[in-house]
Amino acid sequence: MRYSLINIVLFIAYTIAQNIDYSNYCWSEELGYECCSDNITVDSFPDKISDSNGYWAIIDGVKCGIRDGRCWSKAYKEGYPCCRNGTIPTNSDINGQWGENDGETCGILNPVIRWNDRERVTETKEEWNAFKKEWNTYKNNFERISVFPGDNETELNFGWYSTTNTLPIICWGDEETLSKCTNYTGSIEKHYSVNNIQYYSNKVTVKGIQRNSVYYYKRYLNGVDENDIIKFTTHDSKNFKFIFVGDPQIGGAHDRYSPANYYMEKLSVDDGTRNDAFNWNRTIISAFNFTHQQPSLLLSAGDQADEEDKDKPYNEEIQYSAFLLPKQMQQIPVAAALGNHDNISQNFRFHFNPPNPLKEPTYYSKKTGYITGYNYFFKYNNVLVVVLESNHDTCADFKKIIVNGINKYPNTEWRIAMFHHDIYGNGVTHAHTDNIIKKNRPCLTKLLHGYKFDVVINGHDHVYTASKFISYDENANTKKYKVYEVKDNEVNKDPKGPLYITANCSTGAKLYEYLNSEVDYVHKNLQTYTSTFGILDFYEETDGVVSLSITSYDVETHIVTDGPYIIEKQKK
């Protein structure tokens, strides 16, 4: 690492400031009591007692504070005490429930939280503790490789950062040792400096990939042949599965209150990113396990990273590093949409190598050359996937990329669209209020129905919604759409218009509410307050019928959270 001495000192100081060590902190010492031994925890000690300060134990007649048992609401700047046992909650926020004792606000002890705090999950405690020890090593690797789909299923598009301006190479072959491989070369572009280190963006395309095959690859990073050889497996072209997820938004757990720091202060950006990085890894592992290690593609509906301050690139780069951290991300093509959080910088397009991008959108400025991300498309087996950049209300761009995709691949059985903003979601936070959604809804409703798309995957609202089938009809009503009912766990044959799925937050970093009133286009709302993923299961029957089943699952249990929705039609 090419740091000057002063930069190293500043970097260490920054890291320390972001990661205060609470491992030896004892909250009860401030009240005149020692803490219990570390093996006594809130979850493990059934005979604990409580008061307004938190949980206590009596060991050999001596009272001690349970280290992870401090009253969570004490962490607020107002220092709210915890309520007496039996207090009925009057309201809640993302950190827990609130009540009143003697007219004063208090926090309900041992709260039901509305985000995925890994520190609280006893089943993965050992794995989580090991991850925390390695986090400082994981997070500063900004040179992780990304794998995108190529123009079609016979191609893969690779992208990565390097710190030298050297020719990017992917060594690709079917021998495990790669003693004989084809070297694919690509392009390199100067990007920017982070902590005084210059980064370059590398992009390579591999071609000639066959179905039901096993391949191996490695890259040349900074001119050096890497030792790590990655196995890459392809699957059947007629019966296959896509994973889909909403908003990983790694880093979104910052400013939460957690026993990770014994409820002493809000989680820092680094703490929140670490929490979400672990949860993202769990989501990817779980989805791979569910599909028996055989998913063909991963669709991510935007907001891969959380950082919204363009002047804090270090935070965003850590979050991209965490997104690319799971080893499975090197073994599957990943198509990602640009979210509103990703839109603060150009890092999306420098990390990723999307196929068939619309490189000169209507908002493009030749003077600045500033493009945060792309509209793009690709074919995968019998599916055309079109990914839209929905941060701009550019209907002409949407139509152009859709037409480009259909003109190149007119005969696919399925058409899937993905973009970040949920034009038919039902979240309180965005779907009914965001101006960009109001502007894009009329255009996209007409385009996606007119060009016969089957399913649309969205995110943004951090709450799950499945729409009814929605068609465009200029004479229907003031909103110019019609809705058709969806049958659960039954075949929906040749539906009129696409089904819109708004995926929930796949890490559980931020979990929001849905509008609790009837909305004409909504088939189902759901908030599980857990991490989830979805599966698109494509199947070709022997009688010339093709089907698509859409189901969502809980990450930790694989319990079905919604679906299946089955769409069936005759093969072209």
pLDDT band with cut points at 50, 70 and 90 for residue 2: very low
pLDDT digits (tens, 9 = 90+) for 26-41: 999 999 999 999 899 9
Nearest CA to 183 out of 206, 162, 160 is that of: 206
Angle 164-280-323 from CA coordinates, rounded to 5°: 20
Burial group, residue 141, by CB count within 10 angstroms (0-12, 13-18, 19+):
middle
Identify the helix (H) or strand (E) that includes residue 562. Answer: strand 560-570
User: Averaged over 93-105, what is the pLDDT?
Assistant: 95
Contact between 303 and 339 under an 8 Å Cβ cutoff? The reply is yes
pLDDT digits (tens, 9 = 90+) for 430-456: 989 889 999 999 999 999 999 999 999
Q: What is the pLDDT of residues 496-552, one digit of tens each?
A: 999 999 999 999 999 999 998 899 999 999 999 999 999 999 999 888 999 999 999
Nearest to 451, CA basis, from 493, 424, 412: 412
Average pLDDT, the chain: 93
Within 10 A of 185 (CB to CB), how many other CB atoms are there?
Answer: 12
Percent of the chain surpassing pLDDT 90: 87
Q: In the chain, which residues fall in CATH 3.60.21.10?
A: 234-570
pLDDT of 15 > 50? The answer is no
Report the pLDDT averaged over residues 180-194: 97
Tokens matching residue 442: 């009329």
Tell me if residue 203 falls in helix, strand or coil: strand
- Residue where the block lists tokens 């599916």: 383
CA 236 to chain centre: 26
Q: In this model, does residue 7 exceed pLDDT 80?
A: no
Structure confidence at residue 543 (pLDDT): 87
Question: Of 529, 390, 552, whose CA–CA distance to 458 is shortest?
Answer: 390
Q: Is 524 in contact with 294 (CB distance < 8 Å)?
A: no
- When pLDDT is averaged across residues 187-208 and rounded to a whole number, the result is 98
Cα(178)–Cα(207) distance, rounded to whole angstroms?
17
Q: Which pLDDT score is estimated for 25?
A: 85
CATH number of 76-112: 3.90.1220
**Residue 6: what pLDDT?**
34
Plot region of 384 (φ>0 → left; ψ -120 to 50 → alpha; else → beta): beta
> Are 161 and 350 contacting, i.e. CB atoms less than 8 angstroms apart?
yes
- Cβ atoms < 10 Å from Cβ of 296: 25
Report pLDDT for 478.
77
CATH 3.90.1220 residue window(s) in the chain: 76-112
On the CB side of 20, CA atoms within 13 Å amount to 12
- Range with lowest mean pLDDT among 12-21, 403-412, 557-566: 12-21
Cross-sheet strand order for the sheet of 91-93: 91-93, 96-101, 104-107
Q: What are the φ and ψ backbone dihedral angles of 73, each rounded to 5 degrees?
A: -75, -10
pLDDT reported for residue 20: 56
CA-only gyration radius of the chain, Å: 25
Give the pLDDT band of residue 250 (cuts 50, 70, 90): very high
pLDDT in the model for residue 21: 65
Helix H or strand E segment including 279: helix 269-290
535: helix, coil or strand? strand
Q: Using alpha carbons, select from 174, 466, 149 the residue that is nearest to residue 336.
A: 149
Predicted local confidence at residue 222, as pLDDT? 97
- Distance separating alpha carbons of residues 386 and 414, to the nearest angstrom: 11
Q: Residue 532: what pLDDT?
A: 98
Highest mean pLDDT among 87-101, 356-370, 471-485: 87-101
Going by pLDDT thresholds of 50, 70 and 90, the confidence category of residue 14 is very low
Token pair in block for residue 354: 């999307």
CB 509 within 8 A of CB 249: yes
Please give the Cα distance from 153 to 59 (Å, whole number).
63
Q: Specify the DSSP class assigned to residue 94.
A: T
18 pLDDT more than 60: no
Which residue blocks in 19-175 are alpha helix, DSSP H?
125-139
Domain 234-570 fold: Purple Acid Phosphatase; chain A, domain 2 (3.60.21)
Give me 317's structure tokens: 């780069």
What span, in angstroms and rounded, lies between the C-alpha atoms of 170 and 182? Answer: 8
Count the Cβ atoms, other than its own, within 10 Å of residue 18.
Answer: 13
Which amino acid makes up residue 536? L
Model confidence, pTM: 0.93
